[in-house]
A and B are shown apart, each in its own frame.
Chain A
């Protein structure tokens, strides 16, 4: 049981390049999330999904796209990377049974992205 995994761990892009970050979870969770973490800003929600085939915007969605074709996977895409997207990206997942005992968001190890 690996929990939440993220690929890759590190990536360096040039401005204008595109890339996709992959998140996978093996906990059969309905909800999945993408966050970015910047110094002094805490965790900010980019996009999230409440189920296969559905996505929604979070707090800072501009410049990112997402897809949830399979329940266990959530992809984050950058179509044209900008230096402002240099950050650490975290994926998380949680169950959909409401906030009862045992419910929480579980995080992956992160992807450190640098855009030159």
Chain B
């Protein structure tokens, strides 16, 4: 089936640093979703992208929908300790034949050292 490749798998950064992570696929997507999962909690939607080239911000978070529709990027500026968690990308691939299901990446685990 379709897969989303997230990188890096994990990141260890100092508080105040900027973070960048990405998600790529061999299939075209028409929507990209970015979620954050805190330990012991369910994934929470951070940013949703619906058009190729779209750039959307949510506070210190910025995500972009790649022009080729096969990738997306998430940036976090001036990281703080509460940014710790696992970040997932997800999307419904066009090749799937239906719009109701999502494919998820395996996540980028972020650790922020105070």
Contacts and interface: CB of A to CB of B under 8 A. Distances in A.
Nearest to A51: B100
Contacts of A41: 106
Contact of A108 (B31, B42, B48, B88): B42
A105 interface: yes
B24 to A, nearest CB: 15
A31 interface: yes
Interface residues of B, number: 24
Task: State the majority secondary structure of interface residues on B.
Answer: loop
B100 to A, nearest CB: 5
Given A99-B92, A107-B42, A45 B48 contact: no
A102 B33 CA distance: 11
A1 interface: no
Interface in B28-62: 30-31, 33, 35, 40-45, 48, 50
Contacts, number: 54
Given A42-B105, A45-B101, A48-B100, A105 B90 contact: yes
Given A101-B50, A103-B31, A31 B44 contact: no
Contact of B44 (A40, A48, A100, A107): A107
Interface in B91-114: 92, 99-102, 104-107
